[in-house]
Structure formats: C-alpha cells, structure tokens
C-alpha cells in the first residue's frame, strides 16, 4: 500500500468564494415538465407541437390533441377549437362531446399517472358550456378498468337563452369560461394509470388548462423529492433556464422570459429544442419525445422563488441567462443584427428582467412581481449575457456583449455581468474570447465579473488539468458553468465522479479566480434522456443520486472561505494520483483528498513543525458501494459517430438508460480520532474536517 505525506499549514493562501458550488438548471431530459415541475398531465393546454428534425433541418407541426383521447374511442368526441380562448397567447382548447351519459376523455400523462395511497392531488380545469344544461363533471384516475381516485364537480350551467327580443338585447347569462378546482384522494398505490374527465350527462363542454398536481408539491410547484435532492446540496447559486433552450432552434422559438411570468393561462407555451436530435442518446428523424414542450409552469418567477426556497445553509443566488439575438449556433445560422431595431428588444428584456427581480412595486415589472405574490425584491446580483456563443462569420459575440453591458451598467451599475467563452476549452475560440474580456477589463474593470466556460471531457482530461486554473490571470473571474466527466460509456460512474472531484480541488485551490462552478446537466428522467451523464436520475416515483451528486454535495457542504498554504505539496502528490485542496471553514480546516488510483493508499498528515497530526476529526467518504469501482467501457449504448447517439431502431431510450445507468455510490460520514494518517480507499473522494 502506497504511503504519502502532507504537512498541514495554518497559513492563509487565498480568499475564496464559499458559495462557489451551485446548480445549473436546463429543461433537458424532462427536467422541468415531467420532472421538477410537479404537474402530472401532459399537454394540459392543448398547444402541443410535434418536432422532427436533425442538425439544422426541422419540421414543426401542430398536434393539439397529443396525450388526449376519448375513453370510449368515439370519433368526433374530441375537437380542437380556437374561437374564444381564455388567452390569445394559448389559443387552442378542447371541445368534448359526450354522445351518451357518462362518456369522457383521458390524458396519458408522463409514463402514466402515479398515485400514492391516501395522498391528495389538486385538480383544476377551465370549462365552458356549449350544450350542457344538466349534469356535472367527474374527474378520476383509472387503470385497466379500476378506479383509484374519483371526485364529482358541480358544473355551473348557463341560464337558458330566451327567444326573440330579450335574446337580442342580451337578457341572458353568457356561457363563459369558469375555473373549477377540486381534490382527488388516492385509494391505493398505482403507476401507469390515466387521468379521465367524464360528463355525467350527454352534452358538449369545452375545456382548457387541465391540471393535476400533488398536494405536497413544494410551493404548489416543485416535485417534493426532487426539490429535496436540490435542497440537500445547499447550492450557492442557480443558473437558469439553460443552456441551449435559451437560444432555441430558431429566433422565433427562443426563450422569452416575459412569456413565462404572470397567470399560467397567459404564459405562451413554447417548443423544446431537445424534442429533436441534438443530444448524445437517441438518434432519429422523429424522436420518441417529439412532443417535448416548455409549458412554463416553472417560469422566471418560479426560478427566483426556487432560489429563495433553496437558501438554507447559504443564500442561493439567481443567475438568469438571456438570449443575445442568436439562435442556437449548433442548430441555426439565424441572428438579429445589432443594427436592426429589433435587437433593442433583447437589450430591453435584460433591463426589464432586472426591474422584475428588483424593482419597486410601483414600477411596471416590479408591480407584476408583487401581483404574483412577491412584493419584496428578489435581490438579483448577477445576469449572464448569452449562453455559450462563439465568434463566427455569423455571430459577433463581443459586439453584442458590449452593447448589453453598457445598457445594464448605465442603469444598474451594481449588477454583475457574466460573459461567455463558448462551448470549448483549449481552443482558439476560447482563447480569443478571453483575450477580449482581459483587454476590455483594462479600461473598464466592471466589464465582466466572470466568464462562463464549458467542458464535457474524458475523466483523464480532468486528472491531467487539475492545475488548469493555477496560472489564470486574476483580472476577470471564472464561471465554470457546465462541466462533467464523460467516461467511455457516458454513464455516471464512480470514475467520473472521482475525476470531477480531482478537478474541483484545482477549482477550490484557485477559488480567488474560480468564483462559480456548476455540474451539468442536472436531471434525467429515465427513458426520456437526451444527454448523459446527469447529476440526478429519476422516474415517476423514485430518485437516484449519482457519484457526481455526492461529489458536489461534499464540496458544497465543506466549502471554505480561505485556502490554506500547501507549499506546492499538491504537485508531488499528483505523482501518486492524489489530488488535494485545503481550506479554512470557520474555526476548522477541511482537507479534501481524491485518490484516483485503483488501489488503496495512505496519506500521512503532519503539523507544520513535523509532528503527527493527532486530533478529533470528521471524515466524509464517497466511493463505490461495492468497494471496487467499475472500469467504464463502451457498451452497445454508445455509437461510434453522431456524438455517441444510438438509433432508436437499434435501442429504445429506456434500454439505453439501463445500459448507461449510474454506478451505485457510498457516501458516509464518521467521527474518528485522527492519529497521524488517513486511509484512502481506491477511487475515492474524502473530506477530513478538524479544528485548526
């Protein structure tokens, strides 16, 4: 067993950001709709669009009845209308005809409705009479003919319209949209069921915005178990809403934050670019999740609210990302020229967003925030200008950033603007972007607080680049906004988590320049994956925490305010595939050690005067649950080309997820008497906390 040595210093080396470790949220892999957003029904507003396409070639068609069907299978029972919508922003709605008493229609939901015995579920819908003067409405959850939850709602019928002169002068009660709310209680556990609405009498009624949300949803919005997984990480910030969805497959389909606030019925539903080919899992002209949409049930208000709800151990700061007049460069050449008057809208959106987050209640956007239930400021501090754009003959990123930065700082000088260095590191585009930020900062130190850089790389790259930030200039800070180790099978292996932890020791040692860091992507609904690996995997009723999750938790829970001097000892330890950082956390020191070897090692710990370090300590360990980490190898769930995506003709998404599933990890904490050394299991990440 290899033995290595480290002397523990009490000398402060650098001030660092204790809130460095945060979260990056993008609605990919059903992260929002079908995931964190607790809504159980699909296409609740009858606005679905089918997306087909690859690369820069897309076909979008309306498919408003997606996820809905007649329970009796009668043709003509379901029709889409757009004559008198609740909101012109979502103009389509359902006209349902019950040809006989008791007929109904159903929603298939995400992988079917999942109920827990005795749990309660809030059901709501808008309904308008067409021809239904008698009868009520029944909502139920059914599977194979068995009813698992059932409730009857009293329907408010219009008064009969009089004939002749009185009708002409309007002496009658209009048939109008009314909102109905009720509660379903589950009689038993069930998965794979469908939600149904029935008319107790024959007739015609129109419906829109049909919703079913568990009563235990956090703030009535967030799925409870997924929220808990996020809260347990104690994140320092939340970057949202993406990612590529900020840009969209076209300018028309870009993310507009103003479409996501206000009443649900007024939020203009959008397509999701992840409904088409573009990730690293399934490959097909028409993807299995071709109807993947953005309902905006989680909009910008809810993102800000989520930050507040996650602020427990520390404040979770909001980091919203804005479109800069560019569609996704991987999918489109479409841009809005900076001399086009339409470009001004993008800049104004940034200013209005700051007013929405922080403005007084008598301002236009501050008043909307207050009306939504939050008169207090959200205390927004940072805003990201663009996602991962790069300079090209189509896109002048630097010029766009400069216009945004000037407009924001002219009105809100206190806001920290974040730039982007594109989607690659160790590339001329990355270097060129950084050169601009460094040059501009010479005359305008407020030009960019931090620059967002992304890297999805092999584990070995992370081991080899632990010192990546050692020689970065300190004039502009770093935001490692998206990163992950991609092993040979694109799975969440212990190997990948250990490599990420090694890189994070380098981030932490350079915490004076690396101010923010977030793993990506965050969520993956099993069977609906567009990208792996991901931090948290889940299905309709369970959550799987990956090795990468535990690594993030360890670095977040045991973050420091200062680094302690290592005197270049970390360089020698790398020869033994040991990667370390040492920080001060309150009156304690926290040593993080990553063992990248496939064998156990021992690290001897000494004080500065050469004595063995003997004290009480807490030891936190992440390692393979089996005791020996797997050696990742590519399976048939990896294709040799197309960014590793596998044709749906070869393998279903569920099968692919099963073959890339996370390796089980062990995450433990114990109090010990430290006696001069610490055992380091093979392929492990360890934090040792002790009094200074």
CA distance 14 to 509: 8
Residues 6+ apart with CB under 8 A from 46: 64, 65, 68, 80, 92, 93, 94, 208
Q: Which long-range contacts (CB under 8 A, 24 or more apart) does 268-271 make?
A: 268/89, 268/90, 268/296, 269/45, 269/47, 269/90, 269/293, 269/294, 269/295, 269/296, 270/294, 270/296, 271/49, 271/51, 271/60
Using DSSP's 3-state secondary structure scheme, residue 689 falls into strand
DSSP 9: P
CB 259 within 8 A of CB 270: yes
Using alpha carbons, list the distances in angstroms from residue 598 to 481, 495, 624.
30, 10, 11
CA distance 142 to 266: 31
The candidate with the shortest Cα–Cα distance to 45, out of 305, 324, 268, 362, is: 268
Residues 6+ apart with CB under 8 A from 253: 270, 271, 273, 327
Burial call 615-636: b when 16+ CB within 10 Å, e when fewer: bebbbbbbbbeeeebbebeeee
Active-site residue among 388, 405, 540, 663? 388
DSSP 661: P
CB 197 within 8 A of CB 205: no
CA distance 245 to 296: 12
- Asked about 181 being catalytic, the answer comes back as no
CA distance 270 to 142: 30
Say how many residues make up the chain: 692
DSSP 427: S
For the chain, report the end-to-end CA distance as a whole number of angstroms: 29
Using DSSP's 3-state secondary structure scheme, residue 654 falls into helix
The candidate with the shortest Cα–Cα distance to 688, out of 609, 564, 599, 588, is: 588
Q: State the catalytic residues.
A: 388
């Amino acid at each position: 067993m290899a033995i290595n040595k480290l002397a523990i210093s009490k000398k402060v080396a650098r001030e660092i950001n204790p809130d460095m470790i945060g979260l990056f949220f993008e609605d990919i892999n059903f992260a929002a709709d079908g995931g964190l957003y607790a809504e159980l029904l699909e296409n609740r507003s009858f606005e679905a669009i089918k997306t087909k396409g690859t690369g820069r070639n897309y076909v979008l068609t309306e498919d408003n009845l997606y996820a809905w069907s007649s329970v009796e299978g009668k043709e003509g029972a379901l029709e889409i209308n757009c004559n008198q919508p609740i909101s012109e922003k979502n103009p389509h709605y359902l006209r349902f005809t019950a040809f006989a008493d008791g007929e109904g229609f159903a929603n298939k939901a995400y992988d079917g409705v999942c109920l827990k015995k005795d749990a309660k579920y809030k059901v709501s819908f808008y309904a308008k009479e067409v021809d239904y003067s008698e009868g009520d409405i029944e909502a139920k959850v059914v599977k194979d003919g068995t009813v698992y939850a059932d409730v009857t709602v009293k329907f408010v019928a219009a008064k009969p319209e009089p004939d002749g002169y009185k009708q002409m002068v309007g002496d009658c009660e209009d048939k109008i949209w009314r909102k109905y709310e009720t509660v379903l209680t589950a009689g038993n556990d069930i998965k794979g069921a469908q939600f149904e609405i029935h008319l107790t009498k024959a007739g015609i009624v129109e419906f829109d915005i049909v919703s079913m949300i568990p009563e235990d949803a956090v703030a009535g919005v967030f799925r409870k178990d997924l929220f808990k997984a996020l809260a347990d990480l104690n994140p320092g910030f939340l970057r949202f809403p993406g990612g590529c969805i900020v840009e969209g497959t076209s300018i028309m389909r870009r993310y507009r934050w103003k479409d996501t606030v206000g009443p649900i019925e007024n939020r203009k539903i959008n397509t999701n670019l992840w409904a088409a080919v573009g990730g690293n899992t399934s490959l097909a002209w028409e993807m299995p999740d071709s109807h993947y949409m953005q309902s905006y049930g989680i909009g910008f208000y809810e993102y800000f609210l989520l930050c507040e709800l996650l602020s427990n151990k520390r404040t979770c700061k909001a980091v919203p990302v804005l479109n800069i007049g560019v569609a996704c460069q991987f999918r489109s050449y479409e841009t809005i020229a900076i001399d086009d008057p339409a470009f001004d809208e993008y800049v104004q959106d940034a200013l209005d967003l700051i007013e929405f987050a922080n403005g007084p209640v008598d301002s236009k956007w501050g008043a909307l925030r207050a009306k939504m239930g939050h008169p207090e400021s959200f205390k927004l501090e940072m805003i990201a200008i663009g996602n991962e754009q790069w300079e090209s003959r189509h896109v002048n990123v630097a010029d766009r950033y400069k216009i945004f930065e000037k407009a924001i700082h002219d009105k809100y000088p206190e806001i920290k603007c974040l730039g982007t260095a594109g989607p690659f590191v160790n590339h001329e585009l990355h270097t060129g972007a950084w050169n601009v930020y460094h040059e501009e900062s010479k005359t305008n130190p407020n030009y960019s607080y931090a620059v967002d850089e992304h890297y999805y790389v092999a584990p070995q790259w992370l081991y080899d680049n632990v010192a990546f930030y050692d020689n970065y200039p300190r004039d502009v800070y770093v935001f490692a906004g998206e990163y992950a180790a991609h092993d040979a099978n694109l799975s969440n292996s212990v190997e990948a988590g250990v490599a990420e932890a090694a890189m994070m020791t380098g981030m932490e040692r350079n915490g004076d320049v690396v101010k923010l860091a977030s793993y990506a992507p965050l969520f993956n609904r099993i069977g609906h994956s567009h990208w792996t690996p991901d931090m948290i995997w889940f299905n309709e009723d369970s959550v799987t925490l990956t090795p990468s999750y535990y690594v993030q938790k360890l670095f977040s829970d045991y973050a420091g305010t200062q680094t302690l001097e290592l005197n270049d000892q970390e360089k020698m330890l790398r020869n033994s595939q040991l990667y370390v950082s040492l920080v001060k956390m309150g009156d304690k020191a926290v040593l993080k050690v990553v063992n990248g070897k496939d064998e156990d090692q021992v690290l001897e710990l000494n004080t500065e005067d050469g004595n063995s370090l003997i004290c009480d300590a807490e030891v936190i360990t992440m390692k393979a649950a089996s005791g020996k980490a797997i050696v990742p190898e590519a399976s048939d769930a990896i294709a040799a080309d197309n960014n590793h995506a596998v044709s749906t003709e070869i393998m279903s998404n569920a099968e692919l997820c099963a073959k890339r599933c996370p390796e089980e990890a062990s995450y433990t904490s114990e109090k010990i008497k430290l006696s001069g050394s610490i055992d380091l299991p093979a392929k492990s990440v360890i934090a040792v906390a002790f009094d200074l």
